[in-house]
A and B are shown apart, each in its own frame.
Chain A
């Protein structure tokens, strides 16, 4: 029955003039018919068609040969232990074989479709995307019947309690995800407190500053004017990976520099945090935490290679350029009886990127 309807009735619904701002041109340019079909070389010239056919099957056979080559290359170019050249050859020759095999199939298939297959254009009518009115009515009726028979709309109490129950049932699933991070326990009271963990590092009074990565402690006399050292706590060597070596290192890394004393302008209250022009600053950028690893000894500027924040070591490592907002935290240092540089205390503020609870 449906086929007997006016076929255009359905379409008209979605093609009616817009109620918006479209200008309906009263006299639009009439579209012409399809241009006459133009024959290709292969349609006119049997020799050209023959050539095209030959090209296509040659490409396909070439692909077979290339695949065989790739398998052979797998055997001809093994990876020999420790030989970097053998890896390069393995990668290159297997890869070239596979690439040629695939490209030959692809180019052959497309040449087939463009030169040999019929290039007659077909016209297919479009139909409006919306369902036919009868279909839509049937759909609405399905919902209405279901609603009537179940009482979903009528019995508000049943419906609302069901919605409440389903929403509530999600909560336990969400709560389970608290387990993604450790929780505090009597033996480890701060394991589940990110704010506490972020606020302290392993530095403490008397801990020696050591070379990164060798772990050799640094003497004040080693730090010549203008030099800069990448520093870790000496005790870091005792922390195993399982115990969080990287976690501790990520917070405790320090840069140690010696400047002429007259060029140092320490922050008020920080005057005695250095020693004879030697100062130590956290190496973790206060922007998003990259290591601030580049020291320019003439200007005493530190540059973060990730986002180009610059810090002025001669003025308390304050920010002089870039997206970072806070100065690098300073590690108070002194020299112990044996002449080694040691920390006076932990940092006085959290190191690294800012976080919500930081203040």
Chain B
């Protein structure tokens, strides 16, 4: 009964003032009475999202994935995932009469016989490259700002799986046209799979449906590429976004931005417009690239043949690090033991890459264990405030980058007229030394930046105003940081290394020792956060100094005017700045009393 009353009252209200017109009002009511959608709109419609340019990096990935889905669907209407032999008879004259699989034939036809077909194919390929790149930079942002900390560790894991799936999608897609390069890519995968102990031979045999290359692989990869992998990808993507809404977005430290709130703009209308607009920009940029730049010109390569290979070909960028790992492996790492072949020239890169991937995957849990921090964190840290993590991240980036560069070792050698061996040996050394050097340099820089921030907060920033003291000494007046700018410099927390304590039996366990060692590694070098008392004292001191300098300056100028016979002249050519109480530039030489000198001496000592 009460429901009926409520409904009729609602209808009454909508009759009085239907938003968007009578029809929209009726339709909304119709839908809501069958779906209770209004609750959803109430919950999400005015949801607040914080604003920062780096928060759109994940959006690049999201929107390019939508572009991939749209363009890929179009391609499926024309592509034939079959390795049956045909003779090409399409528009492209140089390939006419060439024996090739139906897969390549249909790819050539959709490129050259369908208007706009080549465009859509290029959109699909470019969007795939942008997709993986978007995920990559998004992950770097999350890592370096500590946005993976509680409660977002699981979303990091989901995001990481999405990254792996994206690469798998890329590789399966790259192999579909059955041209020379995709066949060579498969040949390398086949060789790697065969090198896996115990199961490798059989995995390859089953995957290819017999010997390499067989006549099955394109059809099978197609099923993975358009059905299995996208289904998992979409499901995890939805989960990823749902968790983002549940956890709410992180925000950077700033005035009024706390761990307990979200400051920003509402979903409707601002983000509706910004995100929607950004979709069109991502889409537009990809189409622009696709209409101007050729990608994967399969018509130049021809059908797959195991015999020829063109030197200097490169995999799509995201596979580069794996190919580089294969190249950098030291020689002669294969032997027969127990009557079986152990191909460590394959196993070692697989293990190293596997270890790297697993470390990235579980990093949030490692850091949580080391810090023992069980609190929720919603403030995205500045990278400098987590010096050790930032240094680890840089080491990881260098490691990845060296592997990636190694995938082009031959091109580096030919373009810069270097020896092939020299390039490989240099990259091998860099793979080990680069991350170590990068780690230490980054950590020092991060801590130095923290010191600089602390210095600025406690002693003000250099104003460019030089004052001469009575003794002839020149000194620069420091200005106080704006109270709203100040907060992001001081808003950080720190941890202390764990002190090991024996347990009830008087023993110190292995794990406790490990955790203690790790926490020392993380937090031995650190700055103590500024306290409010320190800050208040520093700010008072700064204001005091400033006032004194200004007073002495005024007295000096007044005196000068009096000596010149114009005591009524204005003290300052310009009025002091309302915000800082200072004069932008004053050419002045100050004769100061002892009091003033004392302050300056104190200040120097503090520094």
Q: Nearest chain-B residue to A116 (Cβ)?
A: B273
From DSSP, what is the main secondary structure of chain B's interface residues?
mixed
- Cβ of B318 within 8 Å of any chain A Cβ, yes or no, is no
Return chain B residues, CB-CB under 8 Å to A107: 277, 281
| CB of B527, distance to nearest CB on chain A (Å) | 11
Q: How many chain B residues touch A (Cβ–Cβ < 8 Å)?
A: 140
CA distance A271 to B326 in the complex (A): 34
Interface set, chain A 63-84, CB cutoff 8 A to B? 74, 77-79, 81-84
Return chain B residues, CB-CB under 8 Å to A287: 191, 326, 345
- Cβ of A103 within 8 Å of any chain B Cβ, yes or no, is yes
Establish whether residues A182 and B209, one from each chain, have CB atoms under 8 Å apart when the complex forms. Answer: yes
Establish whether residues A291 and B308, one from each chain, have CB atoms under 8 Å apart when the complex forms. Answer: yes
Q: A293-B308, A356-B200 are in contact. Are A21 and B497 (CB under 8 A)?
A: yes
| CB of B194, distance to nearest CB on chain A (Å) | 4
Contacting B373 at CB < 8 Å: which of A22, A108, A117, A244?
A: A22
| CB of A197, distance to nearest CB on chain B (Å) | 5
Contacting B210 at CB < 8 Å: which of A103, A118, A182?
A: A182
- Cβ of B564 within 8 Å of any chain A Cβ, yes or no, is no
- Cβ of A156 within 8 Å of any chain B Cβ, yes or no, is no
Contacting A106 at CB < 8 Å: which of B259, B279, B327, B528?
A: B279
Contacting B307 at CB < 8 Å: which of A23, A232, A305?
A: A232
Contacting B327 at CB < 8 Å: which of A30, A94, A118, A308?
A: A308
Contacting B201 at CB < 8 Å: which of A195, A288, A303?
A: A195
Establish whether residues B329 and A122, one from each chain, have CB atoms under 8 Å apart when the complex forms. Answer: no
Establish whether residues B273 and A109, one from each chain, have CB atoms under 8 Å apart when the complex forms. Answer: yes
CA distance A220 to B308 in the complex (A): 23
Interface set, chain B 337-360, CB cutoff 8 A to A? 339-341, 343, 345-346
Interface set, chain B 85-144, CB cutoff 8 A to A? 85, 91-93, 99, 111-116, 118-119, 122
Establish whether residues B535 and A18, one from each chain, have CB atoms under 8 Å apart when the complex forms. Answer: no
- Cβ of B409 within 8 Å of any chain A Cβ, yes or no, is yes
Establish whether residues A109 and B291, one from each chain, have CB atoms under 8 Å apart when the complex forms. Answer: no
Q: A19-B372, A113-B270, A129-B247 are in contact. Are A288 and B187 (CB under 8 A)?
A: yes
Establish whether residues B519 and A357, one from each chain, have CB atoms under 8 Å apart when the complex forms. Answer: no
CA distance A356 to B370 in the complex (A): 40
Q: A91-B118, A113-B270, A213-B305 are in contact. Are A356 and B531 (CB under 8 A)?
A: no
- Cβ of B549 within 8 Å of any chain A Cβ, yes or no, is no
Stretch in B230-238, B260-268, B459-467 with 4+ CB within 8 Å of A: B260-268
Establish whether residues B332 and A319, one from each chain, have CB atoms under 8 Å apart when the complex forms. Answer: yes
Stretch in A157-165, A320-328, A333-341 with 4+ CB within 8 Å of B: A320-328
| CB of B241, distance to nearest CB on chain A (Å) | 16
Establish whether residues A123 and B373, one from each chain, have CB atoms under 8 Å apart when the complex forms. Answer: no
Contacting A99 at CB < 8 Å: which of B194, B212, B291?
A: B291
Return chain A residues, CB-CB under 8 Å to B308: 230, 291, 293
| CB of B501, distance to nearest CB on chain A (Å) | 13
Q: A21-B371, A33-B256, A177-B206 are in contact. Are A79 and B113 (CB under 8 A)?
A: yes
Interface bits B137-158 vs A (CB < 8 Å: 1, else 0): 0000000000000010000000
Q: Nearest chain-B residue to A180 (Cβ)?
A: B206
Return chain B residues, CB-CB under 8 Å to A154: none
Stretch in B282-290, B386-394, B585-593, B595-603 with 4+ CB within 8 Å of A: B282-290
Establish whether residues B290 and A247, one from each chain, have CB atoms under 8 Å apart when the complex forms. Answer: no
Number of A-B residue pairs having CB atoms within 8 Å of each other in the complex: 394
CA distance A174 to B4 in the complex (A): 56
Return chain A residues, CB-CB under 8 Å to B255: 31-35
Contacting B341 at CB < 8 Å: which of A30, A244, A358?
A: A358
| CB of A179, distance to nearest CB on chain B (Å) | 9
| CB of A89, distance to nearest CB on chain B (Å) | 11
Return chain B residues, CB-CB under 8 Å to A98: 119, 284, 287, 291
- Cβ of A266 within 8 Å of any chain B Cβ, yes or no, is no
Contacting A353 at CB < 8 Å: which of B194, B209, B378?
A: B194
Return chain B residues, CB-CB under 8 Å to A172: none
Interface bits A88-130 vs B (CB < 8 Å: 1, else 0): 0011101110111111111111101110011101111110110
Contacting A32 at CB < 8 Å: which of B190, B256, B260?
A: B256
Contacting A194 at CB < 8 Å: which of B204, B261, B332?
A: B204
Contacting B192 at CB < 8 Å: which of A21, A94, A129, A288?
A: A288
Return chain B residues, CB-CB under 8 Å to A124: 47-48, 248, 261-263
Q: A35-B255, A247-B214, A325-B331 are in contact. Are A99 and B288 (CB under 8 A)?
A: yes
- Cβ of A146 within 8 Å of any chain B Cβ, yes or no, is no
CA distance A284 to B257 in the complex (A): 62
| CB of B428, distance to nearest CB on chain A (Å) | 11
Return chain B residues, CB-CB under 8 Å to A42: none
Q: Nearest chain-A residue to B243 (Cβ)?
A: A129
Return chain A residues, CB-CB under 8 Å to B184: 290, 306
- Cβ of B529 within 8 Å of any chain A Cβ, yes or no, is yes
Establish whether residues B270 and A117, one from each chain, have CB atoms under 8 Å apart when the complex forms. Answer: yes
Interface set, chain B 54-100, CB cutoff 8 A to A? 85, 91-93, 99
Q: A212-B307, A289-B212, A321-B331 are in contact. Are A31 and B491 (CB under 8 A)?
A: yes
- Cβ of B504 within 8 Å of any chain A Cβ, yes or no, is no
| CB of A169, distance to nearest CB on chain B (Å) | 21
- Cβ of B440 within 8 Å of any chain A Cβ, yes or no, is no
CA distance A124 to B48 in the complex (A): 7
Return chain B residues, CB-CB under 8 Å to A182: 209-210
Q: Nearest chain-B residue to A108 (Cβ)?
A: B277
Establish whether residues A20 and B495, one from each chain, have CB atoms under 8 Å apart when the complex forms. Answer: yes
Q: Nearest chain-B residue to A252 (Cβ)?
A: B306
Establish whether residues A35 and B256, one from each chain, have CB atoms under 8 Å apart when the complex forms. Answer: yes
Establish whether residues A325 and B287, one from each chain, have CB atoms under 8 Å apart when the complex forms. Answer: no
Establish whether residues B374 and A18, one from each chain, have CB atoms under 8 Å apart when the complex forms. Answer: yes
16 A-B pairs within 8 Å (CB atoms) are namely A19-B374, A29-B490, A31-B258, A33-B255, A82-B91, A90-B118, A113-B274, A119-B270, A124-B248, A129-B246, A197-B210, A197-B211, A241-B85, A291-B307, A307-B323, A354-B343
Given A18-B372, A293-B311, 9 more pairs with CB closer than 8 A: A21-B498, A23-B529, A25-B493, A31-B491, A90-B116, A91-B119, A103-B285, A242-B215, A305-B310
Interface residues of B (CB under 8 A from A): 46-48, 85, 91-93, 99, 111-116, 118-119, 122, 151, 184, 187-188, 190-192, 194-202, 204-216, 220, 246-248, 255-266, 269-271, 273-274, 276-285, 287-288, 290-292, 304-313, 323, 326-327, 329, 331-334, 336, 339-341, 343, 345-346, 370-376, 378, 409-410, 420-421, 424, 483-484, 487, 490-491, 493-498, 519, 523, 528-533, 535
